[in-house]
Amino acid sequence: MALSLLRLFRNKKSQVSPFVFVAFRIKFPKATNLVWHQVGILKWQVGFTLKMKRCTALFNSDGQWLETVTILPMHLLPEQLQQSLKEKHAVKGHKEIHHVQTPDRSHYEMSFTEGSSTYKLLFDVSFNIVGKLVL
């Protein structure tokens, strides 16, 4: 039955839930250039621009905010952090870092390739490295 509901769902053009749309507008009243995508049956993702930065936000179907990712250009990061990333992690030419916010945490992420491996660095809100994942 779940498979047939999923098939029906995929074949039907859906509109943004009013709960989700209102919740988004309350949280991001000045957002522009909205592009909505339904993620599965119970989640909505919206791409948008806010304060000249590209962002995405994720909401459940009840309008509960789950996550926001803001793309920050590297040139807006503190110079000391930019230099440290270039020296310690060979991220020359990298152009952006992601600020990830959820209801209970906030951190920064940056993916890069070093040799034949791809990594994701995780930073706390003070830009201290708190993790390195191999992707």
Q: What is the mean pLDDT of residues 26-44?
A: 94
pTM: 0.76
For residue range 74-130, list pLDDT tens digits in order. Answer: 777 777 777 767 766 555 556 678 999 999 999 888 887 777 888 888 888 777 788
Compute the distance between CA of residue 124 and CA of residue 17 in angstroms, rounded to an integer: 33
Compute the distance between CA of residue 44 and CA of residue 83 in angstroms, rounded to an integer: 37
pLDDT at position 14 is: 53
Compute the distance between CA of residue 70 and CA of residue 108 in angstroms, rounded to an integer: 9
